[in-house]
A and B are shown apart, each in its own frame.
Chain A
């Protein structure tokens, strides 16, 4: 409820401002930092009650995607990858696909470099969240907003 109110005020504010300038605004009303319950639950299933901090993790993914059916992405984590200090796993989540999980990747000190690449599906413009679990059981994350453009002339799939 609080979120809706906030968004509404933002919208009215922008519209009012634009009217003064005499232009026609195109405003996309989207609650800030809205995290659907499913995504929240999927993350809790991995991290439990632990605190998730921002940092150490880098997500390389095109901010503007040519086709949501096949989106290349690379996750890298700043880690020395030693027996005492390494990445145990990398978890990738999304906000608006039918299911919040994309993939879990389990590695260890033997990897030498904490980096994985894959190709994913994004049903719509949305957030992708990556969480890394380190050997000391701390969790680190990165979040990227991705715009998925729709193909102009798609064909019926089935």
Chain B
């Protein structure tokens, strides 16, 4: 199973704007490379990333082959309530991975 590295502050004050950083293991094969014998290496990329905060989608990204291997994506959100961030990566060849992180908002 591919590993993901998620960084969410464990605690925040209500109304704080916090940064969420994500790294996902993935080769991001562009589909534009060839083997030594001239065959095209088929595309194998993550095409979509989404983050939900207590069930509500707060961020989404469409990715193309120009995103580097082991995609790093960081973004911001406002800490409104304690709960859970859920992350989802979807891609070629049936790739589908999830991860989650908790936050305590005071």
Contact = CB atoms under 8 A, between A and B. Distances in A.
A49 B57 CA distance: 29
Given A110-B77, A111-B59, A113-B76, A158 B64 contact: no
Contacts of B58: 107-108, 110-111
Given A98-B30, A106-B59, A116 B74 contact: yes
Interface stretch (A17-25, A50-58, A118-126, A147-155): A118-126
B59 A118 contact: no
Given A111-B58, A111-B77, A121 B17 contact: no
Interface residues of B, number: 30
Interface in B60-91: 60-69, 71-78, 80
Interface residues of A, number: 32
Contact of A105 (B30, B35, B61): B61
In this complex, which of B32, B33, B60, B68 has the most chain A Cβ atoms within 10 angstroms of its Cβ? B68
B33 A118 contact: no
A115 interface: yes
Contact of A71 (B17, B34, B68, B78): B68
Contacts of A108: 58
Contacts of B36: 156, 158
A115 B67 contact: no
Contact of B61 (A103, A120, A121, A157): A103
A82 to B, nearest CB: 11
B43 to A, nearest CB: 10
B73 A117 contact: yes
22 contacts: A98-B65, A99-B65, A101-B64, A103-B64, A103-B66, A104-B62, A107-B75, A110-B53, A110-B78, A111-B75, A112-B17, A115-B76, A116-B61, A117-B72, A117-B75, A118-B67, A119-B68, A121-B65, A157-B33, A158-B33, A158-B36, A158-B41
